[in-house]
Homo-oligomer: A and B are copies of this chain.
Amino acid sequence: MSQRTGILLVVSGPSGSGKTTLCRRLAGENEAHYSISCTTRSPRPGEIDGKDYHFLSREQFLSKRQNGEFLESAEVHGNLYGTLRSEVVQYLAVGRDVVMDLDVQGAELVRKSEDTSIRATLVDLFVMPANEEELLKRLSGRGTDSAEVIELRMKNAIEETRHWSEYTYRLISGTQEEDYTRFKSLIVAERLRVSRITSRKLQ
């Protein structure tokens, strides 16, 4: 048995901040379990059910929500999104860390969870580019989207970024390697936190 409770690391940030890459790399190095969200929106080309999202019908989603299976859920642009408790609670209980990327609305719901064991283990981080110029560069970087789409994304990203001060930690993104070093430091450091230690013995 682990001598500490698992960490619930919630990562938010505007589109293009690289938050998903950070979360997936941490999970890929087996440092944490990556919690996969549910959504009722249609898969985009290349997205895989059970890897990128659990794709559910609206009926399936609502039924699970009715059963209290979601830790948090919200409607965004007409689609439902949510995190299943089963993606989180069972891991934390055995001292396994869980990482997830959530929008500011989802993070706020987790922060206000009525489940005190969730709140006690939560660490939240906001990832953001250094300035609006950098944000625009990242949002338009894919080169496949129209000016209108980029403009809408930019508007949303600026709005999302306004919420950074609601988080405990903030990472201003630099290079991918710098970002990952800092990101990983966060979970390594949080593992040293005395309040997470469940065994009171010397060892």
> Contact residues of A with B, CB < 8 Å?
125-126, 128, 130-132, 161, 164-165, 167-172, 181-182, 184-186, 188-190, 192-195, 197, 200, 202-203
Min C-beta distance of A66 to chain B, whole Å:
36
Question: For the complex, what is the distance from the CA of A190 to the CA of B193, rounded to whole Å?
Answer: 12
Whether A193 and B165, one on each chain, are in contact in the complex, defined by CB atoms closer than 8 angstroms, is: no
Which residue of chain B is the closest to A128 with respect to CB atoms? B202
Question: For the complex, what is the distance from the CA of A197 to the CA of B169, rounded to whole Å?
Answer: 10
Whether B171 and A182, one on each chain, are in contact in the complex, defined by CB atoms closer than 8 angstroms, is: no
Whether B188 and A182, one on each chain, are in contact in the complex, defined by CB atoms closer than 8 angstroms, is: yes
Whether A192 and B182, one on each chain, are in contact in the complex, defined by CB atoms closer than 8 angstroms, is: yes
Min C-beta distance of A103 to chain B, whole Å:
18
Question: For the complex, what is the distance from the CA of A203 to the CA of B164, rounded to whole Å?
Answer: 11
Whether B161 and A202, one on each chain, are in contact in the complex, defined by CB atoms closer than 8 angstroms, is: yes
Whether A165 and B194, one on each chain, are in contact in the complex, defined by CB atoms closer than 8 angstroms, is: yes
Q: Say whether, besides A197-B170, A203-B130, A203-B172, A190 and B188 are in contact (CB < 8 Å).
A: no
